[in-house]
Homo-oligomer: A and B are copies of this chain.
Amino acid sequence: MARYDFASDNTAGMAPEALEALIAANAGFTAGYGADHVTAQAADAVRALLDVDAEVRFVASGTAANAIACATLCRPYEAMACHRDAHIATDETGAPGFFGHGLGIIGIEGEHGLIEPAGLEAVLARPDIPHHQSAAALSLTNTTEYGALYTVDALKPLIERAKAAGLGVHLDGARLANAAAAGFDLKALGPMGVDIAILGGTKAGMPLSEAIVLFDKRLARRFDARLKQGGQLPSKGRFISAPWIGMLKDRAWTRHAAHANAMAQKLAALMPFPITHPVQANAVFVKMDAERLARLHAQGRFVYRFIDGSVRFMCSWATTEAAVEELGAVLQSLA
């Protein structure tokens, strides 16, 4: 039978803390559409995590969360600037343009999914003429599509530069737990000037949930109407928010991510193929030819060849040491 355990970090199930919180939230009747006490408690937990007084919402889809953030920061005749391989640019079927009515994407180069400062400067230097979509916001991803980490020191000047040029700032934090586990200080996000951050729950061990954090609270005006219209204001909101209560209590969210990161380190240590990006979080990217990948697939082990040509192995909260060792042995036999 086919195995997906290293195919992505969304192939794992719910972590126990998420499931327990879900079950706990099931008791009794509550108000709908996010007005319930479970959602309120979850939002408080997110605010405490980030140490900010921000508006917090929970939605069922990371694609929708990112796309709604883009539509909040850009008008249709404007564009999001982001890394050329960012999820919003390459892996969301044009959702930002759909939710944002045609808003554009401007791709910036950079190693390992990290935006090159010179690339941002080039975007900001483009003449603001009516014949193309000028950048209205910068989107950053931490950790990146290639498993690299922005430190606070690396992120700060990019954000400062964008804000100084009048751009909004979006953080795609689908794997922000992995960044936090790798040392990124979550409490730096607010002071840095991020306007909207998406905190990933799904890849961190929840069934499906992402938190939208509106640091700039003015953006919250009629935001629930925006979510409702976009199909992201679930009536039984408690089942989207509850897992956050379980996962943020005693920092299970970060702890599980630290485990995933450690499993990636372990896999990297066993890896016989050349590693193509620094292993700073839960991903290991390697150079592997088509024949060897086909042989791996033939053994029922699914992993993906990525945009840059590397083959990606992902670890999650549910990855076991034994599984890593077993995979390591398989790979060594192929190499």
Q: Do B63 and A225 have beta carbons less than 8 Å apart?
A: no
Query: How many monomers of this chain does the complex have?
Result: 4
A287 and B275 CA atoms in complex are apart in Å by 42
Interface size class of A (residues with CB under 8 A): 35 or more
Q: Mark A205-247, 1 if CB is under 8 A from B, else 0.
A: 0011000000000000010111111111111101110000000
What would 5 A/B residue contacts be, using CB atoms closer than 8 Å? Answer: A11-B30, A60-B208, A77-B93, A129-B225, A130-B233
Chain A 1-22 interface 0/1 with B at a Cβ cutoff of 8 Å (1 = within): 0111101101111100001001
The 9 closest A-B pairs by CB, nearest first: A64-B231, A97-B102, A130-B224, A98-B102, A10-B235, A207-B239, A60-B60, A101-B101, A13-B26
The interface residues of chain B lying within 8 Å CB-to-CB of A64 are 230-232
A273 interfacial by beta-carbon distance below 8 Å: no
User: Is A239 a contact of B7 with CB atoms below 8 Å?
Assistant: no
Q: By the criterion CB–CB under 8 Å, are A97 and B93 in contact?
A: no
List the B side residues contacting A233 at CB < 8 Å: 61, 63, 130
A26 neighbours in B (Cβ, 8 Å): 13-14, 19
| CB-CB under 8 A for A232 and B61, given A28-B13, A102-B97 | yes
Closest chain-B Cβ to A236's Cβ sits at a distance in Å of 5
Query: Does the CB pair B231–A231 fall under 8 Å?
Result: yes
The answer to whether A29 and B14 touch across the interface, beta carbons within 8 angstroms, is no
